[in-house]
Structures are given as structure tokens and as C-alpha cells.
Structure 1
């Protein structure tokens, strides 16, 4: 037994790297055990599933980073260079994890500057939808559009990296001014009573859109006082232009961003009904080709022709 101990001691003296590895393995096991114990503790103390997952994941990542730093410092053999090792390692990790780090910084930016929040309708990186969650890494949206016409949900949930707020524009439909301008175009034939059509469209627009006009005026005053922006026309406006197919009516109006489709339907239906009640004084223009007369065709047959 004494001889065995002496052999081991001699072996360690001749090969000191083995002792260093053994000590590091022991240190490694201690750190891994601590990580395991902390994860078990967090699992018992945190009831929220999402919070518990994030906390456990953070401890796990921190533990692995600590092991890497300890390994570099341990096998370098020069403790005084430990701050330099930390700096080099941190720079390498920052380069390798630049996207996640940028997402975390962006999440802080989103919250502090109120770029958007849950419930807002936004368009970012070409994706439009309603924000349903913003966490430290991702913005989750209920998608709008794609194969669905109008501002309707497609049914898909989109997770987008928060880092995209630094890479392009963020279009917010609901923040500060929850209204948008929209247009309705319709054409009538040149033979129609244009003045009657103008009065009908203007009357219907005033009746249906009065609520949105009043609400938007108060909001717009706040916008003008808050930002460097000129005053705008909030009442419905009607402009006409002449086209090859007829007289084009362009109705421009302001509406709540969530009611664009339903309001356009209501305006179109009311105008259609009123035009039909004019007993033909107003008719919609179409691109249908109308044949007024079929030309006469004279066919001469030579009876003396040999067949």
C-alpha cells in the first residue's frame, strides 16, 4: 500500500498535467452540481411556466460560461492574465451571439421608447399584424393579410426577432393616432346626372363618417402639439376625374384602423342603393363593349364557277 502511494506520488511529479486535469474535473463537477441544485430550487419556487423556463435557461447559460472562463484561466497557468482572458472571451461571445444580444437590447429600446406594445397593429420587415406579446427576444404577432384580402387575420402566429426594429421602419397603425385615411373609387357614365351623384355621395359620406371625423379631430390636435406636423384635412373630400370609361369619383375619408373593410362595405352599399333609386339618372360605368349596330355584309356567289 505504501509502495502504491509512493508510485502515484512519483507519477504525479513526473506528469503534473494529470493532477491539473483531475482538479479541473473536480471543479467541473462542483459547478455542474451547483447548476443542478439552483435549477431544482427555481423549479420549486417559480410557478409561472414561462418565467421558470427563462430563469433556468439563464442559470444554465451562466454556468457554462463560467466553466469556459475557469477552464481558460486554469490551464493558462497565469492568473494575472485572467481579466484579459475574460475580455477576449467576452468579445468572442459578443461576436458569435450578436443577434440574440441585439434582440435583448432592442426589447429594452421597444419598452423604454414605446415603439409598440401588445395590442398595437404594426407592420415590420414586410409583415403586418396585431402584437400579442413582446418578450426579451421576440415580438409575437397575429398575422394580417397575405392570401386574405383586407385587414383580416390569416390565422398564422408570427414570431419576429426584436432586432428588426434597428434594421428598418416600424409602421404603427394604432399608436398616438389610431386612424388612417382610406379611399373609395367609383365610376359613373357620362350620361349620368353628375351633380346629383356628387350630392348623394357627399351626403352619405357625411352621415356615415361623422363619428370618425369628430373623434379624429381631438386626436389630431394632440398629434400637432406633440410632433412637428402640419394640420390635415379630416373631413371627407370628393374629387372627380375624367377617364376613358366614365367619370371617376374618388372619396377620401378618415376611419378607425380596425374598421376599414366594414366601413368601405357600408359606404359602397348605401351609394349603390341611392344610385339605383334615381330611376336611371345615375348609372355606373363599366368596361363592357357595347355593339350599337352590326354592319351589313354583302356576299356575292358566282353561279357559273365550276366546282
Structure 2
């Protein structure tokens, strides 16, 4: 074999193969490096899920490896158009099958970026209310007040209306108290405000407010609006009624209650009369 033939073979086969091997080597190293960086950055989030981070990093690595393989085969001279089409088809099918899980992952990223709530907050979304136990990229765990665990896909949370009950720290308590129509309304309002101001859980600013809000069939409703810390709202709501009743009794203010009236009718047959 003469030198010209050897140079022709090397030029035709050896150099493309060598270039393909270099591309494969560099591509594998880059895919591992990029996947490791993605996993490490995802794990830096306070509420990250290591298994989800590893899964996303693996997807990226396999994608880069597929691109590397196609590039290497193209350098050698192998037609990869059909392979690229197959990969695109498989990718489209996978995206369709995984659209709900991927939607949850995308929503989880948005929740971690914008942080509309955090662990320990009490939230309400899509009619579900509970204290946040944990947030991952795919789902959020809640605990209801009666100790039931609820797991919501992040896609359902991010796409709905989120009510964060304790994000602002303070909450307003609204409670109605019914008094009788013959009660002194000014005295009743003064009594309600006195009880509210004597409770250390109720804030002095904004000051408690009480006004007549409704005239019912048998009572005049006076509403109390008082501000308190979120942590005190539930206990205040269930405990303020008793001192309010005691104060009403001391001031001689009547509280109406329903009465049941029974009417008896004589259904006997009347005695017929004749003219």
C-alpha cells in the first residue's frame, strides 16, 4: 500500500473517527459536569427534594448524551436524520405523558422562587385549608386542624387562589352579639368595647370597633371588630363569648333566645244544627 493510499484512508476514515471520539469524550464530560451543577443548584433551595433534583439532572444528562451521539455519528458520515426524528418523536410523546408531573415541577419552581407561603403558614387553596408541613418541587403537604395530612400537586396550588391566613401577622376578629330590642344599645356597645379592651390579646391599635349591623326578627345584632395576633385569633374567638355574657348580665342587658309556642286545636266534629 503506497503512501498516497494510506493518506487517503486516514483522511477518509481515521480523522473523522478520531474527531468523533473526541466529541464523545468531551460530550460525556460536559454532560456529567452540567448535570452535577444542575443538581447542586437545585439542592440549594431550602425546600428542595433531592430525588426530584436528581431526576431533573439525569434528564439533562441523557439529553446531552443523545446530542453528543448524534454529533459523533454525523462526523463519521452516518445519516442521523431518522435518528433525530425518532428522538424528537419520543421526546414529544414523553412530554405528553408527563405533562401533569412536569406542570407540577414548573409550578414548584415558581412557588420556590416567589414564596407566597412558607412552612408553618396556614393557607387555603381550592377549598382546602391547612398548615404547611413541607414544600417540594412536585407537591405541598398540609395538615388540617383535625390532624389530617393533605398532599396537593403544586400545579393545583399555583393555578388557584392562595389565601395565606397568617402572612401579615395581624388578623381581625368579627363577632356578632344579639341583644333584645328593649336593651340600651349605647350601654350594650359600651359593654362590648369594655370587654374587648380588657382582653390583653386584643390590640389597642387599631382600636376595637362595635356598631349595630342588623335588625333581626327577635334581636338587634351588634358586631365587634377587634385586631389581634394571628396565633391568638382562634383562642380569642372561642373564649370571648363567656366574659361577654357575664358583662351583659351585670349591665342588665337581655340576650334574646328562641321561644317555642304550642297551639292546641280541638278538631272534634261540630254538632249539626237544623232550622
What interval of TM-score do these two structures reach, taking the shorter chain for normalisation? 0.5 to 0.7
- Listed as ranges, the matches of 1:144-155 within 5 Å are 153-155=145-147
- Take 1:251 and 1:82, find their aligned partners in 2: how far apart are those partners? 72
Which secondary structure does the structure 1 equivalent of 2:253 belong to? coil
Shift in Å at residue 170 of structure 1? 0.9
**Partners in 2 of 1:54 and 1:109 — Cα distance?**
15
Q: TM-score, normalised by structure 2?
A: 0.65
Q: Is the aligned partner of 1:245 residue 2:218? A: yes
1:133 aligns with 2:124: no
CA contact (8 A) 2:195 2:247 kept: no
Deviations 1:112-163 (A, max 9, x none): 11121211111112110000000121100002xxxxxxxxx12211110011
What is the match of residue 271 of structure 1? 244
Does residue 259 (structure 1) correspond to residue 232 (structure 2)? The answer is yes
CA distance in 1: counterparts of 2:53 and 2:256, whole angstroms: 65
Instruction: Call closer, same or farther: CA 1:52–1:189 in 2, change over 3 Å.
Output: closer
Q: 2:256 maps to what in 1?
A: 285
Change over 3 Å in CA distance of 1:161–1:51 after alignment to 2: closer
Q: Which runs of 4+ in 1 moved over 4 A?
A: 50-70
**Is it true that 1:162 corresponds to 2:133 in the alignment?**
no
RMSD: 3.8
Distance in 2 (CA, whole Å) between partners of 1:116 and 1:265 is 26
Q: From the superposition, tell whether residues 197 and 59 of structure 1 become closer, same or farther in structure 2 (CA, over 3 Å).
A: closer
Gap runs ≥5 in structure 2: 1-47
| 1:83 positional shift | 3.7
5+ long unaligned stretches in structure 1? 1-49, 144-152, 218-233, 303-307
The reply to whether residue 189 of structure 1 matches residue 180 of structure 2 is: yes
Q: Deviations over 1:31-65 (max 9, x none)?
A: xxxxxxxxxxxxxxxxxxx9675577678878998
Deviations 1:250-287 (A, max 9, x none): 11222333333310233211111112223xx2110112
1:213 aligns with 2:203: yes
Query: When the two structures are aligned, how many residues end up with a matched partner?
Result: 217
- TM (norm. structure 1) is 0.59
Shift of 1:187: 1.1
- Output one character per residue of 1:218-259: Cα deviation in whole Å (capped at 9) or x when no partner: xxxxxxxxxxxxxxxx33211113221021111122233333
> What does residue 21 of structure 1 align with?
none
Name the structure 2 match of 1:101.
102
